[in-house]
Structure 1
Amino acid sequence: MAVRGHNRNGAAFMMSCLSRLLVKALVVALPAVTLTAMPSPASAEEATLSIRPQTWAYVSSSEENKAHANEDGHATVGLQGSYTAPAQPESVRRSFFGYDVSALRGKTIVKAELTFVPVDHSCDNRIVGFSLWETGAVGEHTTWKHQPEWLRTLGATLIPWLPCSQQTDYWPFVMQPTASVAEAVAGESGLVTFGIQSLDEARPTGRLLLENNPELRITYEAERRNAYPKDPRLPLAALNPTAWAYAESGHQNVPHWNTGEPVPVGSPDGHRRHRSFFRFDLSALAGDRLEEARLWLSRADTCRPGEQPVEVWETGDISEETTWHRQPQWLRRLDAYTWQSCEDSGASLILDVTEAIRQAGQDGRASVTIGLRSAAEDDPLGWYSLDNGPRLDVSHLPPLSKPSDLVTDNSDRSWPAPLPGRIGPFPCVRGEARPYIPYAPRPEANVPGGADLRWARWQWQTLDGEPVHEERNGPGYGRAYGPRWGSDGVAYRWRVRSEDVYQQVSEWSDWCEYVVDTTKPGRPAAVSGTPYLDRQPAGGPGVPGRFTFAPNGVTDVAGYYYRFSGDASWTWVPAEVDGSATVTWTPPGAASYELAVVSVDRATNRAPSTASYHVVVADGA
């Protein structure tokens, strides 16, 4: 047992103490026994409870039949009366302190510390030391002749006597009766009593006065209910009850439906019992995977040490006719709130109802009903008054939806001058409308649903279904972008699905088709005109001419850009089915004009060379 006694004087005093302790150890035939609890698991969290004695007493050898229980005076030990106080009759005193540790029943005790505080430091109040014992219980009739049994010694503290000028103050004496407290917690009564007596009751070295309410500080293993979901990545739905009721055994046929009262659980007096029920609507979570559910209950009363557990159950449904006689069926126990520490967890009760909520989701039920009852319905320590506003927090995993808003490419590319123009975007299409793209496109899609980062799995096939490539990329949120894929002259189809860390896999998207075409038209356009032949005077100002652009053997011409001398910009004209296009132009005056023509294929590739045609407008005079 660890004992701490400190003096505020200097190093000389400490050295003197050590030397005197060695001498005392040779004289006092009482071993200091060290008692410790088994080490707690590394994963356990710890809480503390500080309690004072529920009863205390001292006995005096000079008053063999007189009881001194729960008096206002100080606790005393040792031989009272000496040459410094001759008026006092000599008597030996011993003190006892009883503690109720039943509040910790079921807990694993890690450590117990009992602190004795001296209250008088005058010179005649010196003692050789005192021992700590576990004893039998004390009460109003405890006297010197009827002392409790001294069961076992738990240790001792040695206080060396020094001249008054050298010793003025003591720190509190801290002793560790851990094993005795642990046994009392596990015992039936939950009570433990400690006694103290002088190490040498025959020596007239004065008395030691102590405060009569030594603190017993107990450290124990406590389950910590985490206020946050185990997986913070999941969305959290906060649900309030759509209906609630309570039943009371004192009014067994009276319904209590959707009242504004606090929520009662247990018995306030050991006779009238209360049970409460809540219905929660789960329809907003239909189709989701329900991962974790916690019921939050705030207290309308005050936490009390040693409260009995509150049990939470899944029950049958409730109605306006729910009473004590017409309670719903109690289907299964889900969890229990067990008192830990009023300092740490007295404001709220957090109960795990995952099993019921998850099963309701799997069964496709739109609601679930939760019931509360005390584990000790006849014990007032099982009584709880809770705020009328419980909350059910449900961590849920939405399914991955089919990818949508598919785009084969949206790269926002443009052709450079002198023929600027945007390339694409290329939407998701199939069949004859499939786009021809002058580069390997980068597909993209929305991948909705789920809760967290997700991957996109992309597939490419030829149009006849032969697999070409498959790749997964990510993770990311919301919008997914695939890799660029494709070779010149090949037609493809692609699709995508999403996958997440929860092993969810979405439905495949629709197929999207495209053809990669990076080959430019191999020949310039063939240009002809009437009445204006190339480089030959004809017509006149205001006389329109018709000019035809032909593909010149190129099979996939989609249109032409053309421009006459003096035009500020190029003009686009789409090709007919045969690949040709015809435009009409009226010269503004007699002069020589150049017509420039660039053919463009269906992938928007420009011919590398420009066709040139000269229009000579004759003077009409």
Structure 2
Amino acid sequence: MRTSGRPRHGAGALVAALVTGLVVVAPGTANAAQQPNWAMPLPVKWSTTDSKRPHEEITTGDQRVGAWRDDKHHIGKSYLTFDITRFKGTQLFTANLRTPEKAANDCTKPRSTQMWVVRPQNKITWADQPAEIANVAPNPVPDQDCVSQAVTWNVVEPVKQALEKGQTTITFALRIAEQFQGEVEYGRTYDPTGRLNATFNTPPGTPTDLKIDIHTCNGTTTPVIPSLTPRVKATLHDADPDNGGVSGRVAFWPVHAPEQRIEVVAPWAPGSIDTLFPAGLVQDGGTYAFAVRTEDGFTNSEWSAPCRFTADITAPATPPMISSATFRENGGPPGDGGEGMPGDFTFSANGVTDVVAFEYDGLGIPSGRVAADAPGGKATITITPTTDGPVSIQARSLDRAGLRSETRTYRYWVRTTGPWVQLPQFELGTPGEVVFNANQDGATRFVYQLDGGQEQSVPVGDDRKGRHTFLFTVPGSEYHALKVWTVDDAGTKSGVHDTNFYVDQLRPWVDVDPWDGIVGQKRTITVSPSRDGVVSYVYKIGDDPEKVLPAAADGSLTFEYTPTTKGYHDVLVASVNAAGVRSGWGDGTVVAEAPAPTVTSNDYKYEPQGAPGQAGTFTFSSPRIPVVSYEYRFNGDPWQATTGTQIQWAPKKPGYHYLYVRGVTESGFETDEQSYMFQVKPLPPTVTSPQFPDGGPVTARPNQPVEFVVTPALPGSHEVLWSISFGAPTVVPVGEDGKARFTYTPGGSFELTVSSRTPDGIVSGDVKRTYSVPTS
């Protein structure tokens, strides 16, 4: 918001010292040049002419220039045509045509080749040669060899002249000087792949897409921005590759004082500029402009059209005024208007001249924004309250820059128009009358919705009441939602009364004895009614179908149930009276367990016992549930079955083992599974070595064989397995003397692991020993 007069600036104040993060330059100063662009086009067409083939245009082979002889005397010229459209509209710096030589007829003769610019012509033959317009001077040849790959011609001026004439191509002729043209000694051969090597610069384009803050510059509007250093952006355009030399120059100035213009080179960013207005230049309330041009160090684009803005950093000084023809400020009961009835509010700028809009919100009011009818003017909105009683509305003024004033709060009281409802105690199957009471003046009918269903109407009586009887005959939810409102003759809707009420489902009491037991154990279920006149019951257990049983004379029910599967079984029971009205479900639960068998063993327990290959006895029992057989498995082996209560099993390895057991009843039902963990003692072999005798001395040395003798402790062992550290095991047979022997050549100290194994796969368990090998 602008609160002061036109900002004042000292004459000639450049504010250069206030610019931060920008390179301040004198107007028009060029930026550091980028590297020129370059191109090396090949000819789009080349040809050779031959005096002995005067009407042919030769486009294969090499380029023969001057005279040569076979069975005839030939004279030739060669022509190269280049497409120069790439250089149209550019600054052409250099253009050199390279014509590599392949052969010379006589190296004692000086190079007498000339290059001429010729008049454009479609087909070139010896008989129809194009006019030779201008002779092109050769560049010095850097070497003194007879034949050179570096023969070049400076063609920059001919190319420039061709472009000025609007030509898209240029053709050059290679020929021997007129006085030597017929002499064979002066003839030469050239590579037809001559190349035009040019450097040039394409002038940059005028910047586009100028933005000030969040506003796109369009040249017709002047946005108001709440900042003294707004952000400016623009897109730069340059057809040449950017090697770091392309930059954007930004000019800033006060619109009323263009002589205070400041130009800066914006921080480099490929293809765009993104910077801030210089600090200290912008004053609150002033109007400013900026423009951008692209610079590549060789030439500059045109300046963009100016982009303007007005600065406003002062929010509206006073909040808006609020008034209403419908709702009195600070009104009390019974209130004004009514919930569901529209009313108006008017916001005014309260003397602040640049207020252009108002924001508002409040209890039961959707938040919103409304434009003022003129700067510093007012706006009126229509609100339909959705709640009654004491409420408020809040409003804030917004100026052109979007700055907000403090908030004004307007408190008022909305009259209650929604009806109120008298509800009875509802029971399933018993009608109940609901009494509606109107609050809306002139109400002619009540409208209600039950559980979100269709709208139903009840007339409003002279006593401002309405009545309706509800009857619930089908069991369901205990709680129901009721919405009620009134409508007058004009169709005006009152506020809505929203309530919930309870309908007793008359669920019977269900008792299960015992509720917790085992599969196959009989349970007694007793049902007590919660109403009179019960003649029968419907019940279902779990997923079983519904069944019907008659009630006893006192209205109760007792029946038995024996679960055949384990788990939780829901018991649902509903009573039915003589009128056929069914109650809601009463519920109970039957829990049927299938306890796992017990497992015992004197041979194998948690503490290590027995040995690999040594059979042990395991005993099964099922003290809580009768079974006719057992299923079992050791570790990950397949399941096996037995009708006995004992099994024997011999482990094949030491360590931890698991036995899993479950019982099977006469009906084929399986009990829970029992897990029995036990440990088997190892029977590791003994290991001796003459190089490491018990009690010493150690005679082993690095890189010398060490002998080992292994005596298995596991009966029936036929082989020994040994390994060093984590290496793969080596198998050694057990000899007739019951021992196994092997050697190992260590490089130093090592760890040896040894075990034994029987033919049927029983393993002893490992023995590990660490050996220190002396180095001297």
How does the TM-score come out when normalised to structure 2?
0.43
1:263 aligns with 2:52: no
The match for 1:446 among 215, 235, 251 is 235
For residues 262 and 233 of structure 1, what CA distance do their matches in structure 2 show? 36
Q: Secondary structure at the match of 1:573?
A: strand
The match for 1:458 among 237, 247, 250 is 250
The structure that is helix-richer by fraction is 1
For residues 325 and 362 of structure 1, what CA distance do their matches in structure 2 show? 27
What letter corresponds to residue 435 of structure 1 in structure 2? P
What letter corresponds to residue 206 of structure 2 in structure 1? K
1:525 aligns with 2:525: no
Change (3 A) 1:269 1:475: farther
Q: Secondary structure at the match of 1:487?
A: coil
Q: Deviations over 1:226-254 (max 9, x none)?
A: xxxxx982233443434433222444x32
1:582 aligns with 2:380: yes
The match for 1:617 among 398, 404, 414 is 414
Asked if 2 retains the 8 angstrom alpha-carbon contact of 1:311 and 1:337, the reply is no
Q: Secondary structure at the match of 1:443?
A: strand
How does the TM-score come out when normalised to structure 1?
0.53
Work out the number of aligned pairs and report it: 368
Greater Rg by CA = 2
The match for 2:84 among 282, 294, 308 is 282
For residues 286 and 248 of structure 1, what CA distance do their matches in structure 2 show? 34
Aligned ranges 1:596-607 → 2 under 5 Å: 596-607=394-405
Asked if 1 retains the 8 angstrom alpha-carbon contact of 2:252 and 2:277, the reply is no
Instruction: Report the counterpart of residue 497 of structure 1 in structure 2.
Output: 293
1:358 aligns with 2:358: no
Q: Secondary structure at the match of 2:138?
A: strand
What letter corresponds to residue 263 of structure 1 in structure 2? Q
Change (3 A) 1:384 1:337: farther
The match for 1:468 among 260, 275, 298 is 260
Q: Deviations over 1:252-300 (max 9, x none)?
A: x32416x244333344449533221122232343221111223345677
Change (3 A) 1:325 1:434: closer
Q: Which sits farther off after the overlay, 535-544 or 291-300?
A: 291-300
Instruction: Report the counterpart of residue 254 of structure 1 in structure 2.
Output: 55
For residues 412 and 107 of structure 2, what CA distance do their matches in structure 1 show? 106
For residues 93 and 318 of structure 2, what CA distance do their matches in structure 1 show? 65
Percent identity reads: 26
Change (3 A) 1:346 1:326: closer
Q: Which runs of 5+ in 2 are unaligned?
A: 1-32, 418-438, 440-776
Instruction: Report the counterpart of residue 185 of structure 1 in structure 2.
Output: none
Asked if 2 retains the 8 angstrom alpha-carbon contact of 1:400 and 1:450, the reply is yes
Change (3 A) 1:302 1:570: farther
Q: Secondary structure at the match of 1:615?
A: strand
What letter corresponds to residue 245 of structure 1 in structure 2? S
Change (3 A) 1:339 1:255: farther
Instruction: Report the counterpart of residue 383 of structure 1 in structure 2.
Output: 188
Aligned ranges 1:142-541 → 2 under 5 Å: 233-251=35-53, 253-256=54-57, 259-269=59-69, 272-297=74-99, 309=111, 310-323=113-126, 326-335=129-138, 338=141, 340=143, 350-374=152-176, 378=183, 382-387=187-192, 389-409=193-213, 425-431=214-220, 433-439=221-227, 440-449=229-238, 451=240, 452=242, 453-464=245-256, 466-474=258-266, 476=268, 477-485=270-278, 486-502=282-298, 504-536=299-331, 537-541=335-339
Instruction: Report the counterpart of residue 538 of structure 2 in structure 1.
Output: none
The match for 1:559 among 325, 333, 357 is 357
Q: Deviations over 1:159-178 (max 9, x none)?
A: xxxxxxxxxxxxxxxxxxxx
Instruction: Report the counterpart of residue 89 of structure 1 in structure 2.
Output: none
Change (3 A) 1:265 1:615: farther
The match for 2:348 among 527, 533, 550 is 550
Q: Deviations over 1:101-151 (max 9, x none)?
A: xxxxxxxxxxxxxxxxxxxxxxxxxxxxxxxxxxxxxxxxxxxxxxxxxxx
Q: Which sits farther off after the overlay, 359-368 or 481-490?
A: 359-368
Higher relative contact order (CA closer than 8 Å, sequence separation 6+) = 1
For residues 369 and 530 of structure 1, what CA distance do their matches in structure 2 show? 89
Q: Secondary structure at the match of 2:302?
A: coil
For residues 381 and 162 of structure 2, what CA distance do their matches in structure 1 show? 72
Change (3 A) 1:461 1:484: closer
What letter corresponds to residue 437 of structure 1 in structure 2? I
